[in-house]
Amino acid sequence: MSEQIKHECGIAKIRLRKPLQYYIDKYGSATYAISKLYIMMQKQANRGQDGVGVANIKIGVDPGTRYISRYRTISQQPITNIFGKISKKFEKAQKKEGYNPKDAKWLKDNMGFTGEVWLGHLRYGTHGKNSIENCHPFLRQNNWRSRNLVMAGNFNMTNVDELFDLLLKLGQHPKEKTDTVTVMEKIGHFMDEENQRIFEKYKKKKNNTEITEIIESEMNIQRVLKRSFKDFDGGYAMVGMLGHGASFVVRDPNGIRPAFKYIDDEVIVVASEKQAIKAAFNVNYSDISEVEPGHALIVHKDGEWDEVPIMKKRELKACSFERIYFSKGTDPDIYRERKELGKLLIPQILKAVNFDLKNTVFSYIPNTAEISFLGMMQGVDEYLLRKRKDIIIDGKPHIDDVEELLSFQPRVEKLVIKDAKLRTFIASDESRDQLVASVYDTTYEVIKKKVDTIVVVDDSIVRGTTLEKSILKMLDLLEPKKIVIVSSAPQIRYPDCYGIDMSKMKEFVAFRAMLLLLEEKYGKGHKELEKAYEMAATNIDNKDQTNYIKALYDQFTDDEISAKITEIVRPKGMKAELEVVYQTVENLHKACPDNSGDWYFTGNYPTPGGHRVVNKAFMNFYEGKEGRAY
């Protein structure tokens, strides 16, 4: 994507189902799980580079032995850094008396990160400071093993204020008002209650040491999670580990955030992307399945597991941006879908170039748009095949030279190249704009001046600033007749509140285009925005789940908004013609039928909190406030 969008986050979980000694004997080392987790996290590095955390829990060690290990870092190359620190643990252990790398008991008694339950997290911070305190996993500590909680997740909650107030009603005094803290403390509260319930049941029948073991075997984690999650509104895939070795993964009831699992006799594995599991364990894609929306995958202390409902499952609205951009394209399903996104754009592209393929050069903005570009070129080839069939086999009239048509090949060039070594670090706007323009480079002397049309495919056009300040200026220097910028995603009109860094409405070029169209239609000083603001403010509790901004967009066609976007992103002094083409929502759903979450394009939010957030975001814009709406 030429305009980076940040996304939170990535999860990786491994539960060894057999004692550590088993893996030492079979695989020759106690680092079996560490190496697998490292691969899983490297394969998901695209999901978060602001910070990384790893936590590990040992099962069955003696009292007085540290059984929870955790490292977090915000350093450069955080994955390499954190696994380097874990590796040093093993190096230092070699100097200890009695060191035996083949003895699981000695390793668990004498060093950290030798347990059976593993959790890794990759963070992209959409809001707030990028400090180590913001890095997952978070830890809630207690001297009772079953009251310890380690948590990480890929989530955003839309109702943090409501959840915070619920904690106050429970008698808590939270240290922060963030979704991470409120989620962990709410689960922790009901986990404490479950511990106490079992303790009260047995306190007159057993001694406390015996009760501790009973609690760990009888704890009803499904009950804890049902009580904890009933008030949550958002998109989430959360992972929790309890100190005694049980663990869980919970996915939101709309399936907004992704979570995949693989289970065999040796391991239970969960990750945000299938490709990470495939790469680490070399299993068939058919053996990897989704964690069911609204369900919890619970792994008990003994390694047995259940996947149980904890919330009523709602309409599946998995995030379509996962398919367009965030998840790795090496997943075969995502690869096919991205190619289809490119192919479905062909009718719009042919119209934009006036069907003059002879004088059209196709390219893409590196690197994630390459798969959509391949699909687009496949669509061009299929169009040419149909045209040849019409002329040669069906004998339809034509004006083309048959021999030239048979030998014709579409022109493809790599025109836009990003220099990853350059960083836009200069603070002043004028100097920074100049540096932004230098981040990209182009290939000269391949365009026929004043004759060729350039078609460039991008994943998505969100703000339009990179186009205006860099890419279009650069392409215009090639002196083409026309430049067509093609987005494989539809127009982004509304904020996301479930984990993507798109929260301020005024930043969307589609929103700015709509505002200009309203001015043209009603004149300056019109009352349309005021009407929408009054409706949003009056109904901020949003019992009817109405997005009051949709009525503003509905006054214009998609083509009208695209044309206005073209005007907005056109740099001053640009000589070539310009047209911006967007994917349609209808074709998005054709290409990605199983990921129908499209609220950033349509305004159709899958949760009540989503509709409240979009109205609040508009109110913030109208009032000139900079803060996020959730």
Residues 43 and 147 in one domain: yes
C-alpha pair distances (Å), 101 with each of 29, 96, 267, 427, 486: 7, 11, 21, 52, 57
pLDDT at position 9: 87
Return the ∠ at Cα 121 (arms to 118 and 127), rounded to 5°.
155
Specify whether 350 is located in the same domain as 255.
no
270 and 384 both lie in a single domain: no
CATH code of the domain covering residue 109: 3.60.20.10
Give the domain CATH number at 440: 3.40.50.2020
The residue among 301, 316, 331 that closes a domain is 316
**Residue reference for tokens 């870092």:** 73
Q: What is the DSSP string of 218-273?
A: H--HHHHHHHHHTT--EEEEEEEEETTS-EEEEE-TT--S--EEEE-SSEEEEESS
605 domain residue, yes or no: yes
Q: How far apart are CA 172 and CA 226, in angstroms?
A: 20
Residues 422, 301 within the same domain: no
Does the residue 200 lie in any domain? Answer: no
Q: Residue 535: what pLDDT? A: 92
The H or E element spanning position 449 is: none
Q: Is the same domain home to 259 and 354? A: no
Cβ atoms 113, 34 nearer than 8 A = yes
| 8-state DSSP, 390 | I
CA neighbor of 516 nearest in space, from 541, 488, 553, 486: 553
Tell which residue, 40, 34, 38, 44, has the closest CA to residue 8: 44
Total number of domains constituting the chain: 2
Q: Which among 263, 274, 309 has a CA at the least distance from the CA of 14?
A: 263
Q: Please enumerate in sequence order all residues whose Cβ is within 8 A of that of 141, keeping only pairs 6 or more positions apart, or say none.
A: 148
Are 609 and 595 in the same domain?
yes
The reply to whether 282 and 350 lie within a common domain is no
What pLDDT is stored for residue 127 in this prediction? 52
Q: Tell me if 476 is assigned to some domain.
A: yes
Provide block-wise average pLDDT over 10 residues at a time, the chain (630 residues). Answer: 64 98 97 98 90 96 95 93 95 94 96 97 69 88 95 88 82 76 90 96 95 95 96 94 98 97 98 97 97 98 97 94 89 96 98 96 88 97 90 68 78 80 43 56 86 96 88 94 97 91 89 98 95 91 82 97 98 97 98 96 94 93 85
The span from the CA of 375 to the CA of 393, in Å, is 26
Of 316, 335, 358, which residue constitutes the final position of a domain? 316
Burial of residue 586 (number of CB atoms within 10 Å: 0-12, 13-18, 19+): exposed
Check whether residue 437 and residue 453 sit in a common domain. yes
So what's the pLDDT on residue 435? 53
Are β-strands 138-140 and 149-157 bridged in parallel, bridged antiparallel, or unpaired?
antiparallel
Is the CB of residue 592 less than 8 Å from the CB of residue 333?
no
- Say what the pLDDT of residue 4 is: 61
* The residue type at 611: H
Distance linking the first and last C-alpha atoms of the chain:
26
Cα–Cα dist 332/319, whole Å:
17
Residue 228 lies in a domain: no
Check residue 437 and give its pLDDT.
56
Contacts of 88 (CB under 8 A, 6+ apart): none
Asked, for residue 188, whether it belongs to a domain, the answer is: no
| DSSP reduced 3-state for 205 | coil
> Do residues 251 and 361 both lie within one domain?
no
Domain range holding 512?
322-623
Instruction: Give the domain-ending residue among 263, 282, 316.
Output: 316
Residue pair 487/471 in contact (Cβ under 8 Å)? The answer is no
294 and 377 fall within a common domain: no
* Order of strands, sheet of 305-309, starting from the edge strand that comes earlier in the sequence: 138-140, 149-157, 234-242, 247-251, 295-299, 305-309
**Residue 178 falls within a domain, yes or no?**
no
Closest by Cα among 536, 460, 528, 426 to 1: 460
Residues 453 and 357 in one domain: yes
Give the DSSP letter of residue 61: P
Q: Where are the alpha helices (DSSP H) in 414-508?
A: 429-439, 465-466, 472-476
pLDDT of residue 5: 62
The reply to whether 294 and 374 lie within a common domain is no
Cβ atoms of residues 606 and 599 within 8 Å: yes
- Answer yes or no: is 102 within a domain: yes
